[in-house]
Structure 1
Amino acid sequence: MRTACFIDGYNVFYGLVAGTSFKWLNLPSLIQHIVHVEAPESQLTSIDFFTSGVKPSLASRGSQSKEAQDTYLRALIAKGVVVHYGRHQLEARNAPRFISKQSPPSRLDQVAIWKLEEKETDVHIAISMYRLASRQASLPAEERVQQLVLVSADTDMTPALKAIKEDFPDLRLGVILPHREGTKRTTPGSLKNHSHWMRRLVTTEELAAHQLPERVPTKKRPAIKPEYW
């Protein structure tokens, strides 16, 4: 069963690898492993990865964080992953002051903040999945994708899954939640309702087993695992 995978990079980073030693993640290898476990007849044919560039001024390690992200993306591209870039939008806003969890927010007590939002990613993923689904009927049978897999826990993707399931009933839909073992996360029921199968968490053992080699050959200079990763 030919399978195309669509990955929300922001979800993967903060759901699976942030704060761990597993940031140099071999996504193609991990995704192939998971889809084979969930649907043994699956054959992974493409991976599309959606992300936005780190803003050095807001990153914990400044330009070093940006360089690490760029290096990792070069490694993924060398492994056959197609990377799509969105953007971050930074705006000055007002928000209720946080006092404690026991004190409710008040519009009468607000402070100025910088609000950072990732833009375009969800829409880009949704459109890409739907467009791929719509193209299948015009392809020879041996080239058609029979399964789409979404790697995200973002319920904003629910309308896209619902539309694809209704309009292309022959396509199987899988969802991999980028939830690391041991973290307390709620399973988004709206995604589950519109998929044929769902993987709810990724184990520490799986993350450790699917790491890239420290040096990944590319068309230019090799992508080398950042020292602090």
Structure 2
Amino acid sequence: MRTAFFVDGYNLFYGLLAGTDYKWLDLPGLLAHVAHVQDPASHLVSVDYFTSGVKPELATRGIQSKEAQDTYVRALKAKGVQVHYGRHQLDPAKAPRFIDKQTRPSRQDKVDIWKLEEKETDVHIAVSMYRLAARQASLAEDGRIDQIVLVSADTDMTPALRAIREDFPAMQVGVILPHRAGIERPPPGSLKDYSHWMRRFITEDELLAHQFPARVPTRKKPAIKPEYW
């Protein structure tokens, strides 16, 4: 079963990797493993990874955070991953003041904030999945993609999955939630409703088993795992 993966990088990082020692993730290796566990006939054909560039002025480690992201992206590309960039938009805004968890927010008590939003990623993933599904009808049977797998817990992807299921009923659709085992979260029902299967979490053993080597060869200088990762 020829399988194409579409990965929401922001969702993957903050849902699965942030705060762990597993950020140097061999993403193609992990995804191929999960798909094989689900169906041993699965064969990874492509991985499309969607992200936005780190803003150093807002990152915990400043320019180091951007350099770490850039290095990881180089490692992904060296392993055949197609990387697509959206953008971050930073605008002044107002939000209700936080007092404590027992005090409800009030529209009458707001403070000025900077609002950071990731732009274009969701739409880009949705359009890319649908276009790939649409192209399969014109391909020879032995070259067609049989399965699309979304790696995200974002229910904004529901309309795309629903459209693919309705318009291309022969296409298998899977969802991998980028959640760590042991953290109880209800599965997003709308994604589950429009997928043939859903993997609800990734174990620590799976993360440990699918890490890049410290130095990943590239066409230029090697991508070296950041020290603080």
TM-score by length of 2: 0.99
Distance of 2:100 and 2:165 partners within structure 1: 43
Question: CA deviation digits over 1:59-105, x for unaligned, max 9?
Answer: 00000000000000000000000000000000100000011121111
Question: CA deviation digits over 1:28-69, x for unaligned, max 9?
Answer: 000000000012211110000000000000000000000000
Counterpart of 1:161, as a letter, is L
Distance of 1:157 and 1:108 partners within structure 2: 34
The equivalences for 1:163-182 within 5 A come to 163-182=163-182
Q: What displacement does 1:5 show?
A: 0.3
Name the residue aligned to 2:55: 55
Aligned residues: 229
Distance of 1:212 and 1:144 partners within structure 2: 29
Counterpart of 2:78, as a letter, is A
Distance of 1:36 and 1:99 partners within structure 2: 48
Distance of 1:154 and 1:187 partners within structure 2: 10
The equivalences for 1:10-21 within 5 A come to 10-21=10-21
Name the residue aligned to 1:194: 194
Distance of 1:184 and 1:94 partners within structure 2: 32
Distance of 1:135 and 1:111 partners within structure 2: 49
Unaligned segments of structure 1, at least 5 residues: none
Counterpart of 1:85, as a letter, is Y
Name the residue aligned to 1:119: 119
Question: CA deviation digits over 1:141-179, x for unaligned, max 9?
Answer: 111001000000000000000000000000000000000
Distance of 1:198 and 1:40 partners within structure 2: 16
Distance of 2:163 and 2:176 partners within structure 1: 19
Name the residue aligned to 1:108: 108
Name the residue aligned to 2:218: 218
Q: What displacement does 1:186 show?
A: 2.3
Q: What displacement does 1:191 show?
A: 0.1
Identity %: 71
RMSD across aligned positions (CA):
0.6
Distance of 1:3 and 1:162 partners within structure 2: 18
Asked if 1:161 corresponds to 2:166, the answer is: no
Counterpart of 1:164, as a letter, is I
Query: Does the residue aligned with 2:161 lie in a helix, a strand or coil?
Result: helix
Distance of 1:70 and 1:34 partners within structure 2: 26
Asked if 1:146 corresponds to 2:143, the answer is: no
Query: Does the residue aligned with 2:103 lie in a helix, a strand or coil?
Result: coil
Unaligned segments of structure 2, at least 5 residues: none
Query: Does the residue aligned with 1:104 lie in a helix, a strand or coil?
Result: coil
Distance of 1:181 and 1:119 partners within structure 2: 29
Distance of 2:78 and 2:85 partners within structure 1: 17
Distance of 1:215 and 1:150 partners within structure 2: 28
Q: Which runs of 4+ in 1 moved over 3 A?
A: none
Counterpart of 1:204, as a letter, is E
Range with greater deviation from structure 2 (150-159 or 176-185): 176-185
Range with greater deviation from structure 2 (50-59 or 97-106): 97-106
Distance of 1:184 and 1:144 partners within structure 2: 37
Distance of 2:182 and 2:97 partners within structure 1: 31
